[in-house]
Structure 1
Amino acid sequence: MHRKNKTKKATFVVIGILLGILFLFPIFILMLNSFKNQRGIFMNVLGFPDAKTFTLKNYVQAFQSLDYVTSFMNSLVITVVSTALIMLVSSMAAWVLVRYKTKVSSVIFMLFAAAMLIPFQCVMLPLMSLGSALHMINRVGLVIMYVGFGTSMSIIMFHGFIKNVPEELEEAATIDGCNSIQLFFIIVVPLLKTIMITVAILNVMWIWNDYLLPSLVINKPGWQTLPLKTYLFFGQFSKRWDLASAGLMLCIIPIVIFYLACQKYIVKGVTEGAIK
């Protein structure tokens, strides 16, 4: 029996390693090509750069072409503001749906769950028409749209976690004179630290890397995020794969650093939120 468990565990480890290699291989190739000139990429896209093809100029030119500082700040502001609003709205909504157990709250929760099944492409054209009519085709409108699309998943995650928060703590605080706002921000929010970090990580990664929605809403000079600016490397008649590879690496690096700093909270938050 012990040998069988060891074999099963080893099999899972091997499968995990193979899946890791499969998912990381495209990023590895992208990194290699970011250090090659155009000729080196066309000669051998999968190979390592040699003395004739190796160059660091790709990163310098990509940094300048991307207008990196401005684009980075656009991405950072939009991502941080959108994520903060998603966390605030979702946590409050989930808390109310858990604590006020009625048929209406159950229906509302099911509507949020069903909203996750609707692809963005199905609502893209009506959303743009509505946004134009309400003069929301700008950065503020983009943030509001992100909040709308991000709350469904976040509410579901908060909902599962808040079920594990003892109601006795809230009842004791109510007896001590806390109103609903004080009860939520003073008693409940500190207990949601783990799931909040998990929700923040997932939303930051999604919003930072998003291309489609910003391309529809804020694709104007000076407003563009980093993913939008990488489109400049792909022209109608020529494609600068060398600069594009370096530019994409510059876009990836900040979010990879953020993920590595917070990754331990993802599994913990999802697991704790799923246990009831």
Structure 2
Amino acid sequence: MVEEKKKKIITPALGLTLAAIFILPLYIILTNSFKTQKGIFMNVMGLPFGEFFTLENYPEAFEQLDFIRSFFNSLFITVGSTLVIIIFASMAAWMLVRTKTKVSAFLFFLFAVAMLIPFQAVMLPLVNLMGRIGFLNPLGLIFMYLGLGSSLSIILYHGFIKNIPVELEEAAIIDGCNTFQIFWYIIFPLLKPITVTVSILNVMWIWNDFLLPQLVINRPEWQTIPLKMFYFFGQYSKKWHLALAGLVISMVPIVIFYIFAQKHIIKGITDGSIK
């Protein structure tokens, strides 16, 4: 009885402590985004009251971020990259699963090993090569994201496709379907649960990525939201009040995306467990 009472006390207390640790950064961002620069330096943890409270941070950050243009730049790169990753990774994984040869096994091994290579080890040769062929632009950036994001996506698709009965494809062949029709009309619709997972992982990675766009994009009109955020931090001054407001603004689209995709994540997990 004593141990059960301890568990009833310790478990909720531990849960509340962990919740507070995770919520604390969000609290700091939100509260300080409504403070003046002086208010942040005076009391970081306090609520924005009195002379330290302001609503001007958000419109000023919105303007300095050139949010409409940078938002659509981020949207174009994120959606374009995610779509090409889904298309090519799903097709590659399907062929690797159905083609049971030493070559396909070796290629799958290469994709798995590629995940262990840090991006910093290849970024300079990659950017140098892309510069030589004129790919230092948004389309070139999408092409590079395809190469960098394919390994994990192929591995995820590979594990899911192995659970799809090959008899479905054999029945489609008997009905006269070609390879293209088998994949797009039979296999790809069955990949919806794992496709949602792959989409979420890549969207959140690409939307928040700073380093690769910083190396590739060299024109202001092409800059994404993370690149625009960098200009709040100068060599001699840091506009924390605007940076935090800009950070909240930049978080809103990805949070909305996650909320709408959440039910599909749960469905994907349950579907996968049933399989």
TM range (shorter): over 0.9
Identity, in percent, stands at 59
Cα shift at 1:23 = 2.9
Give the Cα–Cα distance (whole angstroms) in 2 for the partners of residues 215 and 125 of structure 1.
12
Question: Which residue of the partner structure matches residue 154 of structure 1?
Answer: 153
Q: Is residue 182 from structure 1 mapped to residue 192 from structure 2 by the alignment?
A: no
Quote how far apart the aligned CAs of 1:261 are: 1.3
- Structure 1 runs (4+) deviating above 4 angstroms are 3-17, 270-276
Q: State the one-letter code of the partner of 1:193.
A: K
TM-score (norm 2): 0.92
The two structures, once aligned, show a CA RMSD in angstroms of: 2.4
Alignment partners' CA distance in 2, 1:168 and 1:8? 51
How has the CA–CA distance of structure 1 residues 168 and 5 changed in structure 2, closer, same or farther, with 3 Å as cutoff?
farther
Residue aligned with 2:45, SS = coil
| Correspondence 1:38 to 2:37 | yes
| Aligned 8 A contact 1:97 1:109 in 2 | yes
Given that 2:86 and 2:198 are in contact with CA atoms closer than 8 Å, whether structure 1 keeps it comes out as yes
Counterpart Cα distance in 2 of 1:146 and 1:273:
27
| 1:12 Cα deviation from its structure 2 partner | 7.0
Q: Which residue of 2 aligns with 1:231?
A: 230
Q: Find out whether 1:81 has 2:80 as its counterpart.
A: yes
Q: CA deviation at 1:97?
A: 0.6
Kept after mapping to 2: 8 A contact 1:219/1:228:
no
* Partner Cα distance (1:16, 1:69) in 2: 39
**Structure 1 residues 71, 171: CA separation in 2 closer, same or farther (over 3 Å shift)?**
same
Look up the match of 1:168: 167
**What is the letter of the counterpart of residue 199 of structure 2?**
A
Relative to structure 1, the CA distance from residue 118 to residue 6 in structure 2 (aligned partners, 3 Å threshold; closer, same or farther) is farther
Counterpart contact for 1:160–1:274, Cα < 8 Å:
no
Aligned counterparts of 2:182 and 2:8: Cα–Cα separation in 1: 45
Alpha carbons of 1:79 and 1:12: their partners in 2 closer, same or farther (altered >3 Å)?
farther
Q: 2:92 aligns to what? A: 93
Q: CA deviation at 1:76?
A: 0.3
Q: Give distance in 1, aligned partners of 2:171 and 2:102.
A: 26
Tell whether the 8 Å contact from 1:162 to 1:273 is kept in structure 2 after alignment.
no
The residue number in structure 2 matching 1:262 is 261
Deviations 1:215-239 (A, max 9, x none): 0001421010000001111111111
Query: What is the rounded CA distance, in whole Å, between the counterparts of 2:265 and 2:5 in structure 1?
Result: 27
Cα distance between partner residues in 2 of 1:207 and 1:86: 11
1:202 corresponds to 2:201: yes
How many angstroms apart in 2 are the aligned matches of 1:10 and 1:187?
52
Measure how far apart 1:17 and its partner are: 4.9
TM-score by length of 1: 0.92
Amino acid of the structure 2 residue aligned with 1:178: C
- Aligned in 2, Cα 1:16/1:155: closer, same or farther, shift over 3 Å? farther
- Kept in 2, the 8 Å contact 1:138–1:218? The answer is yes
SS class of match (1:222): helix
Q: Which runs of 5+ in 1 are unaligned?
A: none
The equivalent of 1:124 in structure 2 is 123
Asked if the contact 1:35–1:49 (Cα under 8 Å) also holds between the matched residues in 2, the reply is yes
After TM superposition, give the deviation of residue 251 of structure 1 in Å.
0.7
The corresponding residue for 2:191 is: 192
Letter in 1 for 2:261: C
State the Cα distance separating 1:24 from its structure 2 match: 3.0
Task: Determine whether 1:64 maps to 2:28.
Answer: no
Q: Distance in 1 between matches of 2:41 and 2:18?
A: 28
Q: CA deviation at 1:266?
A: 3.3
Q: Deviations over 1:157-189 (max 9, x none)?
A: 001111111111111111100000000000011
How far is 1:70 from its partner?
0.3
Partner letter of residue 35 of structure 1?
A: F
Structure 2: gaps of 5 or more residues: none
State the alpha-carbon separation in 2 of the partners of residues 192 and 122 from structure 1: 33
Q: Distance in 1 between matches of 2:225 and 2:142?
A: 16
SS at match of 2:82: helix
Output one character per residue of 1:29-84: Cα deviation in whole Å (capped at 9) or x when no partner. Answer: 11111011111100011111112211110000000000000000000000000000
